[in-house]
């Protein structure tokens, strides 16, 4: 049976495997798609190894908190395609990775990969990942994780946006835990997802960051002809004002609360929640993962890819 572009496209969408590999499998299977799927799966770890060079920039950022609210983690697990990221088997795997991290003492990815896999102690986390690559049919990668461990006066809330495009873990320091605090936490986590702050407050901004930004703003001021005749003290105040404005945008509690109707800040919103629940509430820490951020994605023209596969 002749192998057509439509058949290659269908097999690729079913498996997530590259176009040329799909064509080879279909040729070997004489055009039988079900048989071609079997052939791709039978390639096992050898097939997984061939996929290791591909760019995995899709996938899921996922937040998980244990039932007792003692441990919270955020993980990013990457796939090559958004198609696989929406796959139930992949999503279940990401959930298991999060639970692995929750039960782990590893400080980095190298240590995590060497651990025994939570679902099968006969293999390591790395070996389990390779097995999943073979089953799903495209390159996967556990890219990073963050973990919070709560004291008795901490409370965590998680939030995931757009089906795992962004995941947020938020940690409060508080002497009162309630449904109202949980709801407030969800609201602030959504703020973090949308506004992407870098710091909790001005006190948490590293001194080297402030120094570097001050140097940049100073150079900008010197390069502006409009400042040529301004006294140094005026320019210094101008730079301080610009830095302060920048920090308000980058510090979570200084940001304007996006759901507010009266332009209150996130800190003012937290203070109002603390008053409502009758306790002390401050933000201790947060982490925000955005899937694929910082990964250079390969731009592909699907029609050209099909044509290349048909001609090869």
Question: Which CATH number fits the domain that encloses residue 128?
Answer: 3.30.479.20
Could you tell me the residue range of the domain that residue 28 belongs to?
5-53+297-311
Least-confidence region, from 10-14, 49-53, 68-72, 300-304: 49-53
pLDDT of 71 reads: 98
CA distances from 255 to 13, 200, 274 (A): 42, 10, 18
With vertex at residue 13, the alpha carbon angle to CA 8 and CA 15, rounded to the nearest 5 degrees, is 95
Q: What does the pLDDT look like over 16-41, one tens digit per residue?
A: 666 777 888 888 889 887 788 777 66
Are residues 44 and 68 located together in one domain of the fold? no
Give Dmax (Cα) for the chain.
82
In the chain, the N- to C-terminal Cα span, in Å, equals 17
pLDDT of 45 reads: 28
pLDDT of 52 reads: 47
Question: What mean pLDDT is predicted for residues 178-196?
Answer: 96
Are residues 46 and 85 located together in one domain of the fold? no
Are residues 98 and 69 located together in one domain of the fold? yes
Question: Helix, strand, or coil here: 6?
Answer: helix
Residue ending a domain, choose from 98, 124, 149: 149
Are residues 45 and 61 located together in one domain of the fold? no
- The two structure tokens encoding residue 260: 């507010």
> 52-67 burial by CB neighbour count: b if 16+ within 10 A, else e?
eebebbbbbbbbbbee
Do the domain assignments include residue 255? no
Are residues 42 and 62 located together in one domain of the fold? no
Q: What is the pTM of this model?
A: 0.75
Are residues 11 and 28 located together in one domain of the fold? yes
Do the domain assignments include residue 100? yes
Give phi and psi for 208, each to the nearest 5. -70, -30
Do the domain assignments include residue 41? yes
Residue (of 309, 63, 3) closest to 193 by Cα position: 63
Do the domain assignments include residue 238? no
Question: Helix, strand, or coil here: 312?
Answer: coil
Residue (of 125, 56, 62) closest to 92 by Cα position: 62
Q: How far apart are CA 192 and CA 171, in angstroms?
A: 12
Q: What does the pLDDT look like over 96-112, one tens digit per residue?
A: 999 999 999 999 999 99
Do the domain assignments include residue 18? yes
Residue ending a domain, choose from 108, 124, 149: 149
Query: Percentage of the chain surpassing pLDDT 70?
Result: 87
Residue ending a domain, choose from 149, 178, 200: 149
Are residues 78 and 12 located together in one domain of the fold? no
Do the domain assignments include residue 263? no
Are residues 60 and 142 located together in one domain of the fold? yes
Do the domain assignments include residue 72? yes
Are residues 49 and 62 located together in one domain of the fold? no
Give phi and psi for 174, each to the nearest 5. -160, 155
Do the domain assignments include residue 71? yes
> Can you give the CATH number for the domain in which 19 is found?
1.10.8.10
How many structural domains are present in the chain?
2
Q: How far apart are CA 85 and CA 292, in angstroms?
A: 12
206 vs 43, more confident: 206
> 280-309 burial by CB neighbour count: b if 16+ within 10 A, else e?
ebebbebbbbbbbeebeeeeeeeeebbeeb
pLDDT of 308 reads: 57
Residue (of 118, 177, 104, 111) closest to 147 by Cα position: 104
């Amino acid at each position: 049976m002749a192998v057509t572009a439509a058949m290659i496209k269908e097999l690729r969408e079913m498996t997530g495997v590259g176009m040329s590999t799909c064509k080879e499998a279909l040729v070997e299977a004489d055009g039988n798609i079900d048989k071609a799927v079997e052939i791709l799966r039978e390639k096992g770890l050898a097939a997984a190894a061939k996929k290791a060079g591909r760019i995995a920039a899709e996938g899921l950022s996922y937040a998980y908190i244990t039932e007792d609210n003692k441990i919270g983690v955020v993980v990013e697990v990457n796939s090559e395609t958004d198609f696989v990221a929406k796959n139930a088997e992949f999503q279940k795997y990401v959930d298991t990775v999060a639970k692995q991290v929750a039960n782990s003492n590893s400080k980095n990815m190298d240590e995590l990969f060497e651990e025994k896999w939570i679902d099968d102690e006969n293999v390591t986390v790395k070996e389990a990942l390779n097995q999943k690559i073979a089953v799903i049919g495209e390159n996967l990668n556990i890219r990073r994780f963050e973990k919070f461990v709560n004291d008795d006066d901490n409370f965590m809330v998680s939030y995931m946006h757009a089906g795992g495009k962004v995941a947020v873990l938020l940690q409060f320091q508080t002497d009162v835990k309630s449904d109202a605090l949980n709801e407030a936490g969800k609201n602030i986590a959504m703020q973090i997802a949308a506004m992407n702050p870098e710091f909790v407050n001005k006190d948490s901004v590293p001194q080297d960051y402030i120094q570097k930004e001050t140097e940049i703003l100073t150079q900008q001021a010197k390069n502006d002809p409009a400042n040529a005749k301004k006294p140094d003290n005026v320019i210094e105040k101008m730079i301080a004002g610009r830095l302060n404005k920048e920090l308000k945008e980058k510090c979570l509690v200084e940001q304007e609360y996006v759901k507010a109707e009266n332009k209150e800040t996130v800190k003012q919103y937290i203070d109002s929640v603390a008053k409502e629940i009758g306790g002390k509430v401050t933000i201790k820490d947060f982490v925000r993962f955005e899937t694929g951020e910082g990964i250079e994605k390969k731009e592909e023209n699907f029609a050209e890819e099909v044509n290349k596969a048909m001609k090869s």
